[in-house]
Amino acid sequence: MSVNTVDIRPGVSVLAVLRYLNYKPWFALAEFVDNAIQSHLSSRDRLDLADGGSQRLRVSIEIDSAPPGRITIRDNAAGIAGSEFPRAFRPAVVPLDASGLSEFGMGMKSAACWFSSHWRVRTKAVGEPVERTVKFDISRIVNDEIEELDIHEEPAAPNAHYTEIVLEGLHHIPVKRTIGKIREHLTDIYRVFVRNGTLELRFNGEACVYEPPNILVTPYAREDGGKPRTWRKEIAFDLGQGQKVKGFAALRDPGSHARSGFALFRRGRLIQGSGEDGYRPHHIFQLPGSFRHLRLFGELELDGFEVSHTKDGFRWNDDDEQPFLDLLREHLDSADLPLLKQADNYQARAAKADRAAAASKALDRTTKVIEESIPDVLQRVADAIPVETQKEPLAPQPTLATRELTVKFRGQVWVIHIELSDDPAEGDWLTVSDQQSSEGGAEKLEIRLAMAHPFMVLFAQTDPSNIEALIRVGSAIAVSEKLARRAGVKLAGTIRRNVNEILREALSRA
């Protein structure tokens, strides 16, 4: 083994603050995939010569979420050439060619430092006879003001080419639900490169392949007896000053509020609108509950528009976003195929089919979980001792939100306190305290839902509509329990206790 060095001056001090960037984990991981794609595209001739023919780029991402956490990214792109090491590892050095996916000179460094203070790069450049490894310990680099890093070299076959990046001791360890979202977003972000055969992307061993939604095929809702049309159209317009838009727009069948919206691309890579974060400007989609919001989607390639340094959004201003939206809306609703009018007027015919499809899917999932999990839980729940509703105030817990309201019922004032707790140690999804009045005062009903409960983590973390639905269900159970006690029912807390047990032990599984 031989050892050389790479100069990482200037800008070393910036490495310590990169962990505080406003990244989402999928966009941080995308920085590594971007570099691999750009390396592959820029070196195709040399790669074809080394491989004896054209080969698809393969990128794999493996996440080990067991503390302290580890992420490994591997690719078979062209590797980092020895001559490129200073540019690759020195902060904020813009690449010679900034017209591709690697344009700011900070992607790998920013993403790696956001995830971890300890990371290493092992790379083999095509046509070179050595494999090189560089290790980063950010705290030591900053505290000791280190200006050079050792490059460890090992002999390797000249035609081999790859890069492996390992991030250890993660600042942000993805948990189970987040890991699923990362895969979903990465699948969306690189759908164009996967679709055109350039890229094979694997996440925790699974191929990331985008499945497009079905397109609505039906007559125009404003025409009685019209012929069926496919509600998809090409979009292309020029805003001048080098800004162009090209792609398609369509109506989904069935609709989906979560997966509607536009995916906005630049240079083939999605910038805005992945996962459930579709680009849904009010100017076009109206309110979140609208039928446009339910069905309208599409893919648009934007050329000549600036993006953020984390490449997770376009840098809009009124001078370019509003003209873009005006022209887009004009094209969407042009007379040849008026997508917006169709979306607005088709709801009555489509509602039943949409509900049936969603109901069938949800029922299939739930019955599968019940079939697999309930038999083991029933015996324990059935044998548990019946319980009475708690009369003492609930013990304090960390909370995300609280509300209090007053209602009158048959001459009695009820103070209802609803609390969303954030205590991961809380095992019950729903906790209730029914405090009787004293000397003619108000009765107090405390209702606490545990937002850190596995059931809430699975179904209702950040979507207000999902959270609201479960708050309403929990409140209905709590009020019903209080009414049952007023009617003379003994041990009224037993049903809620059983609900908590079944949710925790059986129905909180994906």
E strand or H helix at 122:
strand 116-124
Residues in the chain: 510
Q: CA–CA separation, 208 vs 354, rounded Å?
A: 26
Query: Mean pLDDT, to the nearest integer, of 168-175?
Result: 91
* Better pLDDT: 24 or 357: 24
* C-alpha to C-alpha distances, 399 to 67, 432, 452, 462, nearest whole angstrom: 26, 15, 10, 15
Distance separating alpha carbons of residues 398 and 394, to the nearest angstrom: 12
Nearest to 202 by CA among 187, 216, 219: 187
* DSSP percent split of the chain into helix, strand, coil, nearest 5: 35, 30, 35
Report how far residue 486's alpha carbon sits from residue 468's, in angstroms, rounded to the nearest whole number: 27
Helix (H) or strand (E) holding 89: helix 85-89
Span 383-437, pLDDT tens digits: 889 999 999 999 999 999 999 999 999 888 999 999 999 998 899 999 999 998 7
204 closest CA partner among 169, 173, 179, 235 = 179
pLDDT at res. 349: 54
The pLDDT tens digits of the residues spanning 87-146 come to: 888 776 666 666 677 766 678 889 999 999 999 999 999 999 999 999 999 989 888 888
Cβ pair 194, 203 in contact under 8 A: no
CB proximity list for 331: less than 8 A, separation 6 or greater = 233, 235, 237, 249
CA dihedral 409, 410, 412, 418 (to 10 degrees): -10
pLDDT for the residue numbered 1: 52
Sole residue written with tokens 């376009």: 314
Residue 290: which pLDDT band, with cuts at 50, 70 and 90?
confident
> What are the chain's domains?
2-207 (3.30.565.10), 217-347 (3.30.230), 384-505 (no CATH)
What pLDDT score does 59 carry?
Answer: 98
pTM (global) more than 0.75: no
The three-state DSSP-derived secondary structure of 367-388 is HHHHHHHHHHHHHHHHHCCCCC
The DSSP-derived string for 157-174 is -TT--EEEEEEEEESS--
Q: Find, among 76, 101, 74, 57, the residue nearest to 200 by Cα.
A: 57
Q: Which residue has the higher pLDDT, 75 or 102?
A: 75
Q: Is 14 a residue whose pLDDT tops 70?
A: yes
Asked if the model's pLDDT at residue 354 lies above 80, the reply is: no
Q: What is the token pair recorded at 373?
A: 């999990």
Whether residue 23 contacts residue 106, with contact meaning beta carbons closer than 8 Å, is answered with no
